[in-house]
Amino acid sequence: MHWKVGRVKITQIVEMETIGHTRFILPQAAKEEIRKLPWLIPHFATEEGRLKMTIHALVVETASRRIVVDTGLGNDKEGRNVPTWNNRNTPFLEMMTAAGFPPDSIDTVLCTHLHVDHVGWNTRLEAGRWVPTFEKARYVFGRREYEHWRDHSLEPDKAAVFADSVQPIVAAGMATLVESDARICDEITLVPTPGHSPGHMSLHIRSEGQEGLLCGDVAHHPCQMAHLGWSSTADSDPVQSAATRRDVFARVADKPMLVIGGHFKGGYIQRVGDAFKFAMAGV
């Protein structure tokens, strides 16, 4: 799928699509609760109330840049705590190339945060070593996020992610650490959106009077627009994450402002009483 914000084009490259099996991440999103939100069906949930989610990368093309935002799970990775996230072998890079984005055409990689499902394709395995996948790119990481995981990747699965998908980029001299409100190019500015992780960032896009927000994992699924307090089990600070959702959605609601998630397609947010709902957009 793709979307446009002024002259900026955004293309979704899907690595994995899931239906259901999401209670481990959003335990409150029971089927009977989801069925009470008919606007989620069919794009974001099934008739039975099972959630639809994706793990994807977003390619953002501006006048001067070709940016990959978040890089999925990657191939050949090990030590992940979700069984199907280990030892993957998918043609993701071939899919990117077929969509018009060969890896060597990417000039910037930007990770909204440094979780397992957002950094995987930062690297690929070559002759037993993890090497940068996007060999001509600068990799942009939030300084706060990077320092957090550098110092706190204590559990084995977190340590594995940092070691195989983040540190090789820094070791190769290809990482640029930025503040969470840095300007990336004429059209794109970062917005600090902490809660899901300590240094989580969103991307604000502005072009020719139009605006968009790539909000990463501020919400994992649009059902959290109706239930702002449904924080994910992966949120490092569930109270902050709920506050960030309320703040971000209030700022963009009822405006012609495209919002695309780290795990859901783009659309527009509308206020409903004390919460929000979502209407899908894009072709």
Q: Taking the complex as a whole, how short is the minimal distance between the CB of residue 73 and Zn ion, in angstroms?
A: 10
Give the whole-angstrom CA distance, residue 154 versus residue 179: 24
* Residue closer to Zn ion, measured from CB, 54 or 123: 54
In the structure encoding, which two tokens stand for residue 202, read together?
């969103």
Q: Taking the complex as a whole, how short is the minimal distance between the CB of residue 109 and Zn ion, in angstroms?
A: 16
- Annotate each residue in 8-47 with x if it binds Zn ion (CB under 5 A) or - if it does not, as one string: ----------------------------------------
Size of site (CB under 5 A) for Zn ion: 3
Give the whole-angstrom CA distance, residue 150 versus residue 139: 16
Specify the stretch interacting with Zn ion by CB under 5 A; choose among 25-33, 43-51, 185-193, 254-262.
Answer: 254-262
Give the whole-angstrom CA distance, residue 248 versus residue 218: 8
* Residue closer to Zn ion, measured from CB, 6 or 192: 192
Q: Taking the complex as a whole, how short is the minimal distance between the CB of residue 2 and Zn ion, in angstroms?
A: 21
Indicate the pairing of strand 210-214 with strand 267-272: unpaired
Give the whole-angstrom CA distance, residue 146 versus residue 57: 20
Restricted to residues 261-280, the positions that interact with Zn ion (CB under 5 A) are 262
Indicate the pairing of strand 66-69 with strand 275-280: unpaired
CB 234 within 8 A of CB 85: no
Q: Taking the complex as a whole, how short is the minimal distance between the CB of residue 7 and Zn ion, in angstroms?
A: 28
CB 259 within 8 A of CB 77: no
* Residue closer to Zn ion, measured from CB, 117 or 235: 117
Specify the stretch interacting with Zn ion by CB under 5 A; choose among 90-98, 131-139, 200-208, 258-266.
Answer: 258-266
Q: Which DSSP helix (H) or strand (E) runs through 113?
A: none
Nearest residue to 203 (alpha-carbon basis) of 7, 10, 1, 2? 10
Q: Taking the complex as a whole, how short is the minimal distance between the CB of residue 112 and Zn ion, in angstroms?
A: 8
Nearest 5°: phi and psi at 173? 75, 20
- Annotate each residue in 163-202 with x if it binds Zn ion (CB under 5 A) or - if it does not, as one string: ----------------------------------------
* Residue closer to Zn ion, measured from CB, 103 or 262: 262
- Annotate each residue in 93-132 with x if it binds Zn ion (CB under 5 A) or - if it does not, as one string: ------------------------x---------------
Nearest residue to 278 (alpha-carbon basis) of 228, 210, 209? 228
* Residue closer to Zn ion, measured from CB, 18 or 46: 18
CB 44 within 8 A of CB 222: yes
* Torsion over CA: 135, 55, 244, 260 (sign): positive
The burial class, CB within 10 Å (0-12 / 13-18 / 19+), for 87 is exposed
Q: Taking the complex as a whole, how short is the minimal distance between the CB of residue 232 and Zn ion, in angstroms?
A: 9
- Annotate each residue in 215-244 with x if it binds Zn ion (CB under 5 A) or - if it does not, as one string: --x---------------------------
- 70 is a site residue for Zn ion (CB under 5 A): no
Q: Which stretches of the chain bind Zn ion, using CB under 5 A?
A: 117, 217, 262
